[in-house]
Structure 1
Amino acid sequence: MTLTTKFDCPIETVWTQVHRPELLQHIAWPLIRFTYNDAEMPPATWTPGRYRVGMWSFGIIPLGGQWVGIEYPEGTAVTNGRAVLRDNGSGTLISKWDHWIFLEDTGDGLTRYTDRLDLEVGVLTPFVWLFARVFYGHRQRRWRALVATGFRALASEE
């Protein structure tokens, strides 16, 4: 599954926001809420590594644990007008959650943002894929709303 949208925002700003666990929590709400068992979590920013999170649908239905596996296949900075983040995750219910975020500077002050997801859940894959399609559409709508307000909703979370 691949979904793309454009943000009226410089790529460097989008890239900075992608690294904030608060952003993930905000754009996923209310479909998914993430919880952290480790006192060190969430980190101040996502850096390469594996992070254990709990997942809740609508904040109340437990979905089990999930590993968020942060990788930067093209480096940790915007280079030549593009940047890539990969969450090579897995979890209690989902054996493979390979989520890529591609950012591209379109040259006109806009950023092309693409979510690409490959997942495996056994016999439930078609149902989880359908939920993921709705979820990523929801995430991109929440992203666009944040960009339109200058990320105001996250200001109180800093």
Structure 2
Amino acid sequence: MRVLLKLVLDCEPEAAWRAIQSPAVLREVYTPLISVRSLEPKGFPNRWEGGDHPVAMKAAGIIPLGEQVISLEFPERRHEGVQIMRDAGAGVTGLNRLFTEWDHRIAIARDPKDPGKTLYREQLRFSAGPFTAAVWPGLWALWQWRSARLKQLAPTWSSRLGEPEYDAA
């Protein structure tokens, strides 16, 4: 099964790209439906890097969903101006173990109709074995929440965040 999003975000593509690489933004996008806590020894990094990032998740901040590994890679660009982040992670414990397939891709590009905005595309392909059809409505609803939160947060993102000259101002 799959869940798709296609949005135009009110920010520059560079700002959206920096934002999706931020664990803080991941947490903001899911709040308050799901809380995500890092299980890495030093906690969340400032910016996602390729590799495995173990997390624990709770629904509404109180109901354990289990542990999951966010397994990130940044494939080379296939099309000029398109940046992609891929999570091919897996559930480790709890309800997260239901998922036998998880392929989550986010593509960021300049909106062709308004160069100051971002064309944001997201695809989640997943399988939960015999529970796939039962799980799909919940993931679809969660992705609609993500969509609303992304639209809400995007105008606050800056492509200059993290740059020394910007942080010093």
Indicate the TM-score class for this superposition, using the shorter chain for normalisation: 0.7 to 0.9
**1:30-50 Cα shifts (integer Å, max 9, x gaps):** 121111233322111100001
* Larger Rg computed on CA atoms: 2
Matched, 1:45 2:47: yes
Aligned residue for 1:123, secondary structure, equals coil
**Counterpart contact for 1:11–1:81, Cα < 8 Å:** no
**1:51-80 Cα shifts (integer Å, max 9, x gaps):** 1111111111111111101011126xxx73
Higher relative contact order, structure no. (Cα contacts within 8 Å, ≥ 6 residues apart)? 2
Matched, 1:74 2:76: yes
How do residues 1-158 of structure 1 correspond to structure 2 at under 5 angstroms? 1-74=3-76, 80-91=80-91, 92=93, 93=97, 94-107=99-112, 108=114, 109-148=116-155, 150-151=156-157
**1:80-122 Cα shifts (integer Å, max 9, x gaps):** 3211000111103222221100112124212111110011111
Percent of aligned pairs with the same residue?
31
**CA–CA distance in structure 2, aligned partners of residues 125 and 142 of structure 1:** 25
Structure 2 residues without counterparts, runs of 5 or longer: 162-166
Structure 1 residues without counterparts, runs of 5 or longer: none
Q: Give the Å deviation of 1:127.
A: 2.3
Give the paired residue count: 150
Q: Which residue of 1 aligns with 2:164?
A: none
**Which one-letter code corresponds to 1:101 in the other structure?**
I
**CA–CA distance in structure 1, aligned partners of residues 33 and 103 of structure 2:** 19
